[in-house]
Structure 1
């Protein structure tokens, strides 16, 4: 994956979503040759998978924190 090769601190969810949106705009504009459409689609899918992984990890962390807090009396 393109961004997964970067250190975790270099990756940014919002920037990755912006990149996906820019790719969609370029593809929808009709200005790209078909080969580039396929290439850009592949990049967008990789970015989407990175975002989904990021959100899943965040959800897991929140679920863990909520579970730990639920074990604290009077919380």
Structure 2
């Protein structure tokens, strides 16, 4: 059973947040400290997205192997 945190997580929302952070970083209106903070948040989101995509890739590879075994 998935925990509430896992079911609330959404890839598309994280990508949108990363894009918003990039917009803020590119605006040039942030202080250096804010740039560091925003960068850390974006890096965290990117790691989460990477793990999500890796798990998806593994699921697809497993499904392909199962289909091959059924032939």
The two structures have a TM-score, normalised by structure 1, of: 0.88
CA RMSD, Structure 1 to Structure 2 (Å): 0.9
Deviations 1:11-64 (A, max 9, x none): 000000000000000000001000000010000000000000000000000000
- Normalised to the residue count of structure 2, the TM-score between the two structures is 0.93
Unaligned runs of 5+ in 2: none
The answer to which structure has the higher helix fraction is 2
Structure 1 gaps, min length 5: 1-5
Residues paired across the two proteins, number: 68
Find runs of 4+ consecutive structure 1 residues off by over 3 angstroms: none
Q: Does 2:51 match 1:53?
A: yes
